[in-house]
Structure 1
């Protein structure tokens, strides 16, 4: 697979190209790059793109050769138009090792990973087993970045899913084309000529590749996190390899020049991980570097009978390179989860050189065992495998049969355990609306000195991730693709005055408190909310990971148009954000443009300072996971000075703009020098940087006090 499989599809053709040991060696180099870049450098190499290109070359070429050389066929029968025989071979080649890995990942997840992550990893196990992991990750916006203990142990399997989808789609489409060729060929013999068949396949494959590449390039600046995983965007990479399998240029070129071409191609493949940011650039134009280099290696080693292969290609055919290439599939499967589980077990985010070397060596050893005792027997390997071993007690019980039974039973048990845990999590609810404030004071412990009895915090670390603002379940949080607002109404729907809450999730998280204040004081709260989209005047807004977010710009202008038309009595939105260029927080320039536009129209702005984003010197902190792993309010907390300036950066705006009213609730989240993970027996954050809805409710009184001081009609203060 892109993940390295042993990509040669078998063919019943009478004549097939000579076996290319040098391409096995190229696989060895590619998997070495993938593993080393993941373990040591935290970057994406071009190795996956090499695997994709090689897979397309072998797979499509085999299908075309089979079509050309098949002599007789009846429509609906025979291997040419029936995909099942080839699908069986694919299943035998791919599934045993994959399912073995998924079973082990399930066991290690329970043993090593905190319970807060079990549900997501369980769902990824199912997604990987059914080959849609790439789209699962795309929908959940998980970036394929440097490894850390917070990464999924199955994140790398996106490429397996993408290639499985390619294999199945290409098999069905190209065999259907082959069937049509045979059918038409009964009346028009010219269609069955080899060159005509190649031309037909080249048009189909080339046209699809061109459309896929255009799509990848188009989506690069629209939604690159999704684009990176999207099969439609990646499809061109194996298909251009398939084009080379259909038609190989027979140019008369000297061995020396071919060798030079291979050297240049290998240098490009080996170094592109350093000078290309693959996560931000692939699979668009820059992916041509590893893909094109792979095509050059394939071409340069395709010498005429009797012509010597270039020396560098012979080096690729060396025993060690070919041996490493033979392990590429298992090594791809194993190295990433081994790295992630090690980092999780150690509680660190990066492996040093010695640790990385040990992880790579253990990965190679486990890969050899996987190939020797799992892959080869169930693929139908030679007599060197254990597939022919029989137990004396029963001569019909072969190792292969026993292994198959064990895998089937273990896979069923894993799937059943995931279903049971999903069912358990479905029953985990957050019921904190009626917590006794004397026992669970939350922010009042900091703001009012309320006593805090010794009790377990609420919600539990396992439940707090579901402690969401009402607007999401109510359908009033627009998704990333939306460009028009979904408007919700809270507070007092019949109130004589209106506050518009506008922005992203960091505005949304205050709805519980603002709703209660509105109900108490008779004003309406109208919501304009969109995922990852604060109110900004930026012409080119970006998502949190830095990729362009044009839908946010369109949405913001639509919201502003509606606000200026309806003229609410005030707009509630965020005024600060963590400073990307240093510690603490700042007021982004784009926010200022929105403040000026609103106040210039005579509409007051309530600018609420963003709360600290939990982190330490190792990086961001997922509060529920940290607590579930045995962390405390202190070890999972944040030094205040590393997240907040001593004075609200938005306070200076009020000095020159009387319609701008800054609110700062930082003292309800932090002490003078520290921001704990648990305050007043309530867990403060539900994830990496959003307050839990339960904790927000304990800030209602302070929010009401500050709002009524700024805009008296929003009071009196809620008691």
Structure 2
């Protein structure tokens, strides 16, 4: 996705080859590939039907490897360390003025114009982007680039690719310099061997890591370096490529362009990527570049079209500007208006990019500053970015509610009275107008209102196959209850932990992210593959529970953690089947906490945008269950099996709508999970599940 490979019109010297010769200083076919790549990326981000447009990144990486390595081979062997300094100054001149402008502008726009709760994340991303390490941050956070929608990502996420390239070019020029000094006469041969090894190792690692966990694999340099390496191989092999016969280069160029185009439309969010699938755009780009070395390749008339060249010259600025605008400019959420709105923003970003190219990129490239001055500029620009990001981070928008301080009455210990009180509160809370000043947790803290198991590994992450003992409640108690399921089970641990301490139960929490109780195959969107870890974990955990001999198992699950093709009847049978296996293994009693009313929108973000209108974030009871047919089928199957269920929708919703704030308590921490204070508040409602199992 990075356009750090954007190449200005060259300043020719006496040693430069003629523009129309084999070693052309300017390559219109490469400019055309830039245009294709950035258009694909923008169309993909704007959801304009280019399902695999993210492969534009791969095109840019190959082009970058080719152009930058070619420059290094041209300058470093004779220039030594001074040439290395000029190389870095050249990259600063080409890249940093535009990227710093966009970074600082986006940080300020996010602070004053964007969603109030997003400024923290944007500022944190800005700090990493300024230091060219955002890709590492995203990989560490397990960000799922291909499946997080526009609104779920920071307006600076696209800086990951700039950081990845800069990390590569911190070390690669030094390698070229050392090889050139040691093996001056055989520099290309030595680099060829090194690059073949790099490409082979990185491509292998990309395939292995992507197969295991595609989300982080998308960002790591180690899984992407081979794409830069392919471009570098082309630069090393340039003397031979220039001698390719036209009868070969013409068809090769056309075929390469077709492969890249087919990748843009043939791949999709369901493709396991990068992995082996990235070879399609990489080889397609390599074919066009290799064929274009003779200056007469077959695809050049298309790639060299004036309109294509115009976009190609502005591709770097367009790449920088399009994503912040798509994220920050509000458009309709769905329908024809959404499509038109996104297309309009994409085109507007091109207009902004054209202005940035004219007034930022071109003046910077025309500047005749010394190497030292450009390197000083780099330090200053980085400092400005860091200071701006830090200021946004420490001075976030105020999202304190303007409403009067509120309270919520304690629920009675008696379960019937508790249920009656709770349903009454659900109805009366729908009349709230403003967010109370003492909202708990505060909106800015809501995302972190998670059970301890989220942080200590007892909520098994995607790749984990087991977890520790994970004991809560009264660890020395004789009675044991196991909490079993996915994150919709985990959210009840705070309540069960308190119940365990109060009622002397040992609580064991064994849950796994996105892994339902129902024994059905799952395709994990984040991993971009079948979620086999879920099947393995579920079977192993059922065996662990049986070996533990608990008095009670409480299960809960998201009814969305199964693919659409799983029918309600099959999902219900698979749910009961898992619980029956526990019974057959000797567990005396199992119970189920039913699905919570699900708002489907990020409630804290909604409230932060509607501090004076809480009702704007409430939701219809008729839509409280995203999968009503599955829910009904599961409820019916559990009733037939004699497994008790605590149904929550009647308790947490009014007659027609469901509240998101009750008294001073924030109910939801995101779009589908409750906060820790709300879980604790519902402790009396969950008490009958334990009382029914007491000896």
TM-score under structure 1 normalisation? 0.81
**Are the counterparts in 1 of residues 111 and 392 from structure 2 also a CA contact under 8 Å?**
no
The offset of 1:583, in angstroms, is 12
Taking the aligned partners of 1:418 and 1:580, their CA distance within structure 2 comes to 40
Deviation track 1:243-281 (CA, whole Å, cap 9, x = no partner) reads: 111114448766465333323322332342221115633
Q: 1:261 to 1:54 in 2, by over 3 A?
A: same
The offset of 1:600, in angstroms, is 1.1
Which aligned pairs between 1:320-339 and structure 2 lie closer than 5 A?
320-339=307-326
Match of 2:491 in 1: 509
Match of 2:93 in 1: 92
Deviation track 1:634-683 (CA, whole Å, cap 9, x = no partner) reads: 4323333334338754333444544x433322222223443332234532
The offset of 1:158, in angstroms, is 2.1
Match of 2:674 in 1: 691
Deviation track 1:456-509 (CA, whole Å, cap 9, x = no partner) reads: 442232232232224345664344443331332222222220001133321111
The offset of 1:330, in angstroms, is 0.7
Taking the aligned partners of 2:94 and 2:70, their CA distance within structure 1 comes to 18
Match of 2:28 in 1: 21
1:438 matched to 2:428 = no
Match of 1:58 in 2: 67
Q: 1:63 to 1:253 in 2, by over 3 A?
A: closer
Aligned match of 1:528 in 504, 510, 514?
510
TM-score under structure 2 normalisation? 0.84
Q: 1:534 to 1:435 in 2, by over 3 A?
A: farther
Taking the aligned partners of 1:5 and 1:105, their CA distance within structure 2 comes to 22
Aligned match of 2:544 in 562, 568, 573?
562
The offset of 1:601, in angstroms, is 0.5
Match of 1:431 in 2: none
The offset of 1:42, in angstroms, is 6.6
Q: 1:509 to 1:211 in 2, by over 3 A?
A: same
Match of 1:302 in 2: 293
How much is the aligned-residue C-alpha RMSD, in angstroms?
3.9
Taking the aligned partners of 1:675 and 1:582, their CA distance within structure 2 comes to 29
**Are the counterparts in 1 of residues 488 and 558 from structure 2 also a CA contact under 8 Å?**
no
The offset of 1:335, in angstroms, is 1.0
1:418 matched to 2:383 = no
**Are the counterparts in 1 of residues 124 and 389 from structure 2 also a CA contact under 8 Å?**
no
Which aligned pairs between 1:109-508 and structure 2 lie closer than 5 A?
109-138=110-139, 139-145=141-147, 147-179=149-181, 182=182, 191-193=183-185, 196-248=186-238, 249-250=240-241, 255=246, 258-277=249-268, 280-303=271-294, 309-310=296-297, 312-343=299-330, 352=338, 354-381=340-367, 410-411=384-385, 413-421=387-395, 436-438=407-409, 446-448=422-424, 456-457=435-436, 458-459=439-440, 460-472=442-454, 476-508=458-490
Deviation track 1:535-559 (CA, whole Å, cap 9, x = no partner) reads: 4545666366754444444444443
1:638 matched to 2:619 = yes
Taking the aligned partners of 1:146 and 1:349, their CA distance within structure 2 comes to 19
| SS at structure 1 position matched to 2:509 | strand
Match of 1:717 in 2: none
| SS at structure 2 position matched to 1:469 | coil
Taking the aligned partners of 1:226 and 1:437, their CA distance within structure 2 comes to 43
Deviation track 1:163-202 (CA, whole Å, cap 9, x = no partner) reads: 22222232233334334xx2xxxxxxxx432xx3222111
**Are the counterparts in 1 of residues 62 and 231 from structure 2 also a CA contact under 8 Å?**
yes
Deviation track 1:358-378 (CA, whole Å, cap 9, x = no partner) reads: 323322222122223222333
Match of 2:45 in 1: 38
| SS at structure 1 position matched to 2:150 | coil
Taking the aligned partners of 1:220 and 1:474, their CA distance within structure 2 comes to 25
The offset of 1:685, in angstroms, is 0.7
Q: 1:313 to 1:588 in 2, by over 3 A?
A: farther
Taking the aligned partners of 2:540 and 2:58, their CA distance within structure 1 comes to 40
Q: 1:706 to 1:501 in 2, by over 3 A?
A: closer
1:70 matched to 2:56 = no
Q: 1:279 to 1:335 in 2, by over 3 A?
A: farther
The offset of 1:147, in angstroms, is 4.9
Taking the aligned partners of 1:311 and 1:543, their CA distance within structure 2 comes to 39
Q: 1:513 to 1:585 in 2, by over 3 A?
A: farther
Q: 1:519 to 1:448 in 2, by over 3 A?
A: farther
**Are the counterparts in 1 of residues 451 and 494 from structure 2 also a CA contact under 8 Å?**
yes
| SS at structure 1 position matched to 2:654 | coil
Taking the aligned partners of 1:315 and 1:364, their CA distance within structure 2 comes to 21
Q: 1:171 to 1:688 in 2, by over 3 A?
A: farther
Moved more, 159-168 or 640-649: 640-649
1:48 matched to 2:57 = yes
The offset of 1:381, in angstroms, is 4.3
Aligned match of 2:586 in 602, 606, 623?
602
Q: Quick check: which one's helix share is greater?
A: 2
1:663 matched to 2:646 = yes
| SS at structure 2 position matched to 1:528 | strand
Match of 1:103 in 2: 104
Match of 1:676 in 2: 659
Match of 1:2 in 2: 2
The offset of 1:525, in angstroms, is 0.6
**Are the counterparts in 2 of residues 492 and 518 from structure 1 also a CA contact under 8 Å?**
yes
The offset of 1:10, in angstroms, is 10
Deviation track 1:37-94 (CA, whole Å, cap 9, x = no partner) reads: 3222373413221111111111223333445x528x6xxx554xxx444223222222
Q: 1:686 to 1:378 in 2, by over 3 A?
A: same
Taking the aligned partners of 2:407 and 2:567, their CA distance within structure 1 comes to 34
Match of 1:394 in 2: none
Structure 2: gaps of 5 or more residues = 18-22, 413-417
Q: 1:64 to 1:537 in 2, by over 3 A?
A: farther
Aligned residue pairs total 661
**Are the counterparts in 2 of residues 663 and 707 from structure 1 also a CA contact under 8 Å?**
no
**Are the counterparts in 2 of residues 92 and 378 from structure 1 also a CA contact under 8 Å?**
yes
Taking the aligned partners of 2:148 and 2:423, their CA distance within structure 1 comes to 40
